[in-house]
Structure 1
């Protein structure tokens, strides 16, 4: 008997994108057949899975999140993600923080994922500056 694994919704969660980048990302997503769902400040306590439309997680109070632009990709295969990232770069969209929804992080509050991404980004930049 095969286990049935539900496919993840195909979408991009956006956070703190400037208007021009948001508009360009919406166009790139629409062309790729994806939805761009902007996360609102009042939703930062919700789990990543809940924000993606999965029936998991719980509602929680909003949590503080850095104002660094971010995109979280859900339901894309490796080649699809590579193509989308290339299209985002070609459109000139600047998104410093990027992540993919995983079985592990989809249970995290959105604010926690952004905190982890911010720390990772800072560590990578520090390592590059030390070279």
Structure 2
């Protein structure tokens, strides 16, 4: 299966360029969202959806992001469930999941 990446960053063009360059080096197709879907997101929205990656490829790509100092909090792989979601729903689900994980980790520390 061909690897594809949907990456949206509405606040940091330089970071978007770096992630785009990393994807190009790894022969990952960058998907472009429809303008009307982009407009449904908050002005500071950032999210990443990885499609068609094996477990090893996913690990390698995420390691490369870390090595470059590029952090993306709202990220996921494509699933049967999220495949049909619009960008706004995907963003909201990722935001809720991220907040839940932060709360869980904070409780673990105390």
In the superposition, the TM-score normalised over structure 1's length comes to 0.71
Query: 1:102 Cα deviation (Å)?
Result: 1.1
| Count of aligned pairs | 106
Aligned residue in 2 for 1:121: 98
Pick aligned residue for 1:31 from 25, 42, 52: 25
Aligned residue in 2 for 1:111: 88
- Alignment gaps of 5+ in structure 1: 1-6, 45-61
Aligned residue in 2 for 1:98: 75
Q: Aligned to 2:104, what secondary structure does the other structure show?
A: helix
Summarize the alignment of residues 37-76 of structure 1 with structure 2, pairs less than 5 Å apart: 37-39=31-33, 41-44=35-38, 64-66=40-42, 67-76=44-53
Q: Aligned to 1:76, what secondary structure does the other structure show?
A: coil
Query: 1:128 Cα deviation (Å)?
Result: 1.8
Q: Aligned to 1:99, what secondary structure does the other structure show?
A: strand
In the alignment, the residues of structure 1 paired with residue 91 and residue 35 of structure 2 have an alpha-carbon distance, to the nearest angstrom, of 12
* Max Rg structure: 1
Q: Aligned to 1:93, what secondary structure does the other structure show?
A: coil
- Alignment gaps of 5+ in structure 2: none
